[in-house]
Amino acid sequence: MEEPPLSEIATNPGATKRCEYCGKDNPETALFCDGCSTPFPLPVIPGSDAPPLGTCSVEAPQLNARSATVIFLWSFAAQFLGGLAIGLIAGFHAGASSSQTSSELSQRIMPLALLATMLAMGMAVLAASLSRFGANLKDRSSTGAAWVMGSLKDIVTGLGLGVMCVIVFFAVASVPFFHPRNLTPGPLTKMAMTPGIPQITWVILATLLAPPIEEMLFRGVMYGGYRRSFGPRRAAILVTLIFCAMHLTEVFHSPIALFGIGSMASAALWMRLRAGAIGPAVAVHFSYNTVISIVQVIGSLAGS
């Protein structure tokens, strides 16, 4: 059966074609899938030896809200499973030894569980993103993931901006109205204030693991996908709200922490858009967490 000429397809607005990746039906004239942005190869022009148009210009689908959310859910599931695995191992160990109290067991589990969850999250983000988008992750546009280092100047600017965010946060937090009495620290703050393995683990998480993993996910994949689907304003609000929600364990114990987390997230997003790269956003996150870590360590040493 012969293929209908392109002229007939163009005059038949009811014709559709199905995306081989997500299964969505699209108009026959569509160049990209409306559901997942996968490009459609165009038919070869009869009598021409040229390859089908569109088959070599784009190697992987483009980001959108649906695919970005799927990657976020994968990372969330990986965190849960990583923490669950450590919890089960510790539980079996506690069952074999009755000498430990529940409080002592919790203090031993927490550092390992947090390391496991963050590493699992990082592996999930890398695996899901690379397998789905490949080289397109280096797209530096506002609708791309911008997984590139960026210039040294922008990275230094990001480092300075992160320090400024900490200074403003401490200035606001020092106001008595925002610092009520009888405030109990959250689990992460307790780790940061406990010398030894808990504190070392917290510093590693805060300075070496969280900045690159979280920025590649939130200000990279998620912002790029949400911006393509929802526009710049909604994308910025949604990504920042989700990022803050992931830190609610600290916000519940210290509501003013929401100001610091939100300001750092906003500054990181601004640098990612200004530089067209995720490196400066990681720099903001790194310097913010590093100053917080230094203050926590000095405070714990002074109190001991």
Q: What is the pLDDT of residue 250?
A: 78
Kindly tell me if the per-residue pLDDT of 47 is higher than 80: no
Least confident of 12-16, 44-48, 157-161: 44-48
For residue 77, tell me if it sits in a domain: yes
Q: What is the pTM of this model?
A: 0.76
124 and 74: one domain?
yes
Of the spans 126-140, 150-164, 187-201, which averages the highest pLDDT?
150-164
For residue 112, tell me if it sits in a domain: yes
What are the tokens at 89? 């191992």
257 and 184: one domain?
yes
159 and 39: one domain?
no
258 and 177: one domain?
yes
Mean pLDDT to the nearest integer, 276-290: 97
3-state secondary structure of 39: strand
142 and 34: one domain?
no
Of the pLDDT bands very low, low, confident and very high (cuts 50, 70, 90), residue 302 is confident
For residue 57, tell me if it sits in a domain: no
32 and 150: one domain?
no
145 and 236: one domain?
yes
- The burial class, CB within 10 Å (0-12 / 13-18 / 19+), for 244 is middle
For residue 144, tell me if it sits in a domain: yes
**Range of the structural domain that residue 35 is part of:** 1-43
For residue 173, tell me if it sits in a domain: yes
Of the pLDDT bands very low, low, confident and very high (cuts 50, 70, 90), residue 65 is very high
**What tens digit of pLDDT does each residue of 88-127 get?**
766 665 555 555 555 555 667 778 888 889 999 999 999 9
What domain count does the chain have?
2
For residue 53, tell me if it sits in a domain: no
Of the pLDDT bands very low, low, confident and very high (cuts 50, 70, 90), residue 8 is very low
Q: What is the pLDDT of residue 151?
A: 96
149 and 23: one domain?
no
Report d(CA 113, CA 92) in Å as an integer: 15
For residue 48, tell me if it sits in a domain: no
- CB count within 10 Å of CB 161 equals 21
The answer to whether 199 and 192 have CB atoms below 8 angstroms apart is yes
